[in-house]
């Protein structure tokens, strides 16, 4: 009897890190042009199921464009974008995206915002999603009653309520103050560990990328300029030597510095904005 229970819990744990909870992504020679301007140049990129990938790069280098292709909000001009070996055609149920702006409807309660578009017995499911982001008691409140960080929590709940296999995050914490940001990072990391979905996080904050991601990709002029693994145990400590070295390595590459590599770190710079 005991053995059966143990066995089934092992199966569950393994399943939590593999399909269908998480999606595999593949871009093959993905190109995106707007008129004469080529924004993504024959991009090749594969993301494993359950992987936490961060994409960093200067403003205008094509990060959001890439995310829109993955979300099915826009089509590649040439090449292929596949999720779980299927070509992305329009918005898919298994993929959710979160932006820097919360995009909550001000005339709907938090619970209604989270349950938007759901049918049947949606309230308990939406309430549970609010609980997971620490706002279980606030379902009947209005978005205007919340702080910026709390609104982003609701936006996260709205994405998670659909049990996504792929969570796309386009600088979702960009407008938050430093402490709220770290709280949100911890929340996202915890939920990702628990649920096992794949994450693609765009951030201008190299520190955030190193704190959260298994792997950091630098986009440069629509091409992959750098692709590094972050082999550090979690939770990660910003004060560790490895953390500092990795942050510096990425920043140096972004800023193309060859001399005095420690200067920006001494000045506390870790943002690409
Ligand atoms: N719909 C569009 N039409 C024309 N140009 C666009 C469009 N979307 C993005 N671009 C251009 O593509 C480039 C990359 O944009 P974007 O992906 O938003 O950059 P990032 O998110 O890295 O800051 C920019 O030069 C931007 O002006
Ligand atoms: Mg962008």
For residue range 69-79, list pLDDT tens digits in order: 999 999 999 99
Ligand 1 pocket check: which of 32, 56, 57, 60 to mutate, most ligand atoms within 8 Å of Cβ?
Answer: 60
- Asked whether residue 211 carries a pLDDT value surpassing 90, the answer given is yes
Choose the residue to mutate in 30, 58, 62 for probing ligand 1, maximizing ligand atoms within 8 Å of C-beta: 62
Q: Is residue 211 part of a domain?
A: yes
Cα(64) to centroid(ligand 2), Å: 4
Say whether pLDDT at 35 is over 60. Answer: yes
Which residues have CB atoms below 5 A from the ion given as ligand 2?
63-64
Residue 66 lies in a domain: yes
Residue 72 CB neighbours (<10 A): 17
Q: Are residues 170 and 79 in the same domain?
A: yes
pLDDT surpassing 80 at residue 187: yes
pLDDT score, position 114: 98
- Confidence class of residue 11 from pLDDT cuts 50, 70 and 90? very low
Per-residue confidence at 53, pLDDT binned at 50, 70, 90?
very high
Instruction: Compute the distance between CA of residue 154 and CA of residue 149 in angstroms, rounded to an integer.
Output: 9
- Is the residue at 154 inside a domain? yes
Domain boundary among 142, 162, 182: 162
Look at residue 15 and tell me whether its pLDDT is greater than 50.
no
Same domain, 168 and 221: yes
* pLDDT tens digits, 88-99: 999 988 999 999
Say how many domains are in the chain: 2
Is the pLDDT assigned to residue 2 strictly greater than 70? no
Residue 217 pLDDT: 98
Separation of CA 62 and ligand 1 centre (Å): 6
Range of the domain at 154: 103-162
pLDDT higher than threshold 90 for residue 13? no
Torsion angles phi and psi, residue 236, rounded to 5 = -90, 145
Q: Say if 195 falls within a structural domain.
A: yes
Given pLDDT bands bounded at 50, 70 and 90, which one contains residue 273? low
Residues 83 and 118 reside in one and the same domain: no
Q: Considering only CA atoms, which of 214, 163, 230 is closest in space to residue 52?
A: 214
Task: Please write the tens of the pLDDT for every residue from 148-183.
Answer: 999 999 999 999 999 999 999 999 999 999 999 999
Domain co-membership, 66 together with 79: yes
Q: Which atom of ligand 1 is nearest to the CA of 219?
A: 22
> How would residue 246 be classed by pLDDT, with cut points 50, 70 and 90?
very high
> Which CATH number is 182's domain given?
3.40.50.300
The predicted-structure confidence for 113-156, as pLDDT tens digits, reads as follows: 999 999 999 999 999 999 999 999 999 999 999 999 999 999 99
Domain boundary among 127, 145, 162: 162
Compare 6 and 50 and report the one with higher pLDDT: 50
């Amino acid at each position: 009897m005991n053995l059966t229970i143990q066995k089934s819990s092992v199966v569950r744990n393994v399943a939590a890190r593999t399909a269908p909870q998480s999606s595999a992504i593949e871009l093959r020679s993905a190109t995106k042009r707007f008129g004469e301007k080529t924004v993504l140049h024959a991009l090749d990129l594969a993301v494993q199921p359950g992987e936490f990938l961060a994409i960093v790069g200067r403003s205008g280098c094509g990060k959001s464009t890439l995310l829109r292709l993955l979300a099915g909000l826009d089509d590649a001009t040439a090449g292929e974008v596949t999720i779980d070996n299927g070509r992305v055609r329009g918005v898919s149920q298994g993929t959710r995206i979160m932006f820097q702006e919360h995009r909550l409807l001000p005339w709907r309660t938090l619970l209604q915002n989270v349950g938007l578009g759901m049918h049947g017995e949606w309230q308990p499911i939406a309430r549970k999603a609010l609980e997971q982001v620490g706002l279980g008691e606030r379902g009947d409140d209005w978005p205007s009653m919340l702080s910026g960080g709390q609104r982003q929590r609701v936006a996260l709940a709205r994405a998670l309520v659909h049990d996504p296999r792929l969570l796309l995050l386009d600088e979702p914490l960009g407008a938050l103050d430093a402490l709220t940001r770290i709280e949100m990072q911890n929340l996202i990391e915890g939920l990702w560990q628990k649920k096992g979905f794949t994450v693609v996080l765009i951030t201008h904050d190299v520190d955030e990328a190193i704190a959260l991601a298994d792997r950091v990709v630098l986009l440069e002029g629509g091409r992959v300029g750098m692709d590094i693994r972050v082999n550090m145990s979690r939770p990660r400590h910003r004060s560790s030597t490895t953390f500092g070295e990795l942050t510096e390595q990425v920043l140096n590459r972004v800023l193309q510095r060859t001399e005095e590599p420690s200067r920006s770190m001494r000045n506390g710079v870790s943002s690409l904005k």
